[in-house]
Amino acid sequence: MEHNIYLYLLVMAVVTYLVRVLPLLFIRREISNPTIRLFFHYVPYATLTAMTFPAVMETATLPVFGLLSLAAGVFLAWKGGGLLTVSAVCCAVVYICEKVSSFL
């Protein structure tokens, strides 16, 4: 069986387009249900977490470095740090851990 990459790309493009367009077609007025509004409020955060967490754990040479970076990021985010600050500190923690471990 031959695989056609262009067919795969076309299907992916159509599905992505439909996911973005269908809500615009079917939802004409503002959503007033608080549960649904809360769900849509947290979807971007859940998606970002689902994409970021595995990368944090797999990028460092040792999983402990990823955990330290995660702990620093959670602490900073809890204290009100912005996305850029938290990301920079997490990268710095992994970088420092890697450099320290290379000297040992």
Q: Which residue has the higher pLDDT, 100 or 23?
A: 100
> Which residues constitute the domain of residue 96?
5-103
pTM value? 0.58
Look-up: residue for tokens 């076309």? Answer: 10
Question: How many structural domains comprise the chain?
Answer: 1
C-alpha dihedral (76, 77, 79, 84), degrees to nearest 10: 70
The amino acid that residue 87 corresponds to is: S
pLDDT confidence of residue 1:
57
Point out the least confidently predicted range of 1-5, 27-31, 50-54: 1-5
Give residue 12's pLDDT: 95
